[in-house]
Amino acid sequence: MAVLGDHPDRRLGVYALGLLVALLVFGSVSDYLGRRRVISVAMAAGAGACGLFLAAHGVGLLFAARALSGAAVGTANSAGGAALIDLQPEGSRIAPVVTSAATLLGLAAGGLGTSALVQYGPAPAHLVWWLLLGASAVAAVAVLAIPETAARRPGVLATLRPRMAVPRQARATFAVALPCLIAAPALLGFYLSLGPSLAAQVLGSPDLVWGGLVIFLVTGSGAAATVALRGVSGAAAMLAGCLALLAGVVVTLAALETASAAAFLAGAAVAGAGFGTGYFLGAYRILTLLAGPGQRASLIAAIWIVYYLAFSVPVVIAGVATTHFGLHQTSVVYSAALAVLAAAAAGSFLLHRRPHREQRSAWPQWRNRADEPEMANRSPDRSRRSGSVP
């Protein structure tokens, strides 16, 4: 639903803020209250957000709905990802892959399905929210049928204090991965905010489905790459992802300059594959293995702070720039900046792929990918590794 004063960049920023706050404050609540209870509450909150969207006739209520929606998604993904890790077979790495792939596939299906409903369905400002309201309500009840994997225990109030820190042994690796941690979410923000408008401009068609197709290509290819390359080591995935991200952005930039529809769609697909591979299978997986049992939650919080800042801040800036310099010029500058970041991410990896002797113990998977399953399941803090949330 669009109302006066509402802009995609602001909506994404408010959504990201709500999601980030939920991850920081409620990320560990399911360890104390149980997975099912937290997931059900999050689904109910998602249904409430849909109700706010349906009732919104002004910017304030619309932004409140967006913030509540982000908080619901962050809380549900945190608890749901932890439940998947609890339920996965011993020695398996499938839970983080399922969490990442499911989240990206949800974005892909949502982008394409919503655009089709708005373009061709009745009541375009309300139908989507009614459908999501019903689905959220059903999910809130259905989740009670899954096995409970975390017994209720005291101490929940202490977990509500946000904690974020990069452990000493992970700082060098974090610095190496930082360009990738910034470039990947910035790219996703670019396609989710400006992609639909660019699709209409490049393809010369007002059909909203083209915009949904762009979102589908970016997130769908990211999900497919996450599943297809799940057996690749973190180091190889990060390098390959950064190079694919760079290639996709370069193709997108060329498409914008030549107004080539085919190149624009191809660039979106390649960049999306780079996003999923470089971020989820590469940088995120590498970093989360470097923290001890009592450090992982704060490290993950630091990773997601970088993610959502990189996702939302450039989008807000681009939204302002679009009103002053136009869509095309803003998109070209944004794409060029993404290309520089992707190149810096690949260069940072290549320059530091052989860590100093004192850092080698902190880079286990860069040396031996076979160590990953054993290390992941050796940690007693498995429930805090909640997978991934775009």
CA distance 45 to 71: 8
249-258 pLDDT, tens per residue? 999 999 998 9
Q: Say if domain 1-162 classifies as CATH 1.20.1250.20.
A: yes
Query: For the purposes of burial, counting CB atoms within 10 Å of the CB of 350, is it exposed (0-12), middle (13-18) or buried (19 or more)?
Result: exposed
Instruction: Select from 257, 113, 120 the least CA-distant residue to 198.
Output: 257
pLDDT at residue 140, as a whole number: 85
**Where are the domains positioned within the chain?**
1-162, 165-369+377-381
Instruction: Provide the pLDDT confidence category of residue 49 given band limits of 50, 70 and 90.
Output: very high
Which two tokens mark 39? 């997931």
Structure tokens at 206: 């007002």
Concatenating the DSSP letter of every residue in 209-270 gives HHHHHHHHHHHHHHHHHHHHTTTS-HHHHHHHHHHHHHHHHHHHHHHHHHT-HHHHHHHHHH
Q: Is 24 a residue whose pLDDT tops 60?
A: yes
pTM confidence score: 0.77
pLDDT digits (tens, 9 = 90+) for 329-350: 999 999 999 999 999 888 888 8
CATH class, range 165-369+377-381: mainly alpha
HSE-up of 249 (CA within 13 Å, CB side)? Answer: 27
Burial 185-213 (b: 16+ CB within 10 A, else e): bbbbbbbbbbbbbbbbbbbeeeebbbbbb
| Domains 1-162 and 165-369+377-381 equal at CATH topology level | yes
Q: Are 241 and 281 in contact (CB under 8 A)?
A: yes
Inter-residue contact 45 to 348 (CB < 8 Å)? no
Q: Six-digit token pair at 275?
A: 């996003």
What's the pLDDT score for residue 371? 40
Query: What does DSSP assign to residue 151?
Result: -
- Residue 265 burial class via C-beta count within 10 angstroms: exposed 0-12, middle 13-18, buried 19 and up: buried
CA 221 – CA 199 distance, rounded (Å) = 17
pLDDT digits (tens, 9 = 90+) for 72-127: 988 887 788 778 777 777 766 676 678 778 888 888 988 898 889 888 888 887 88
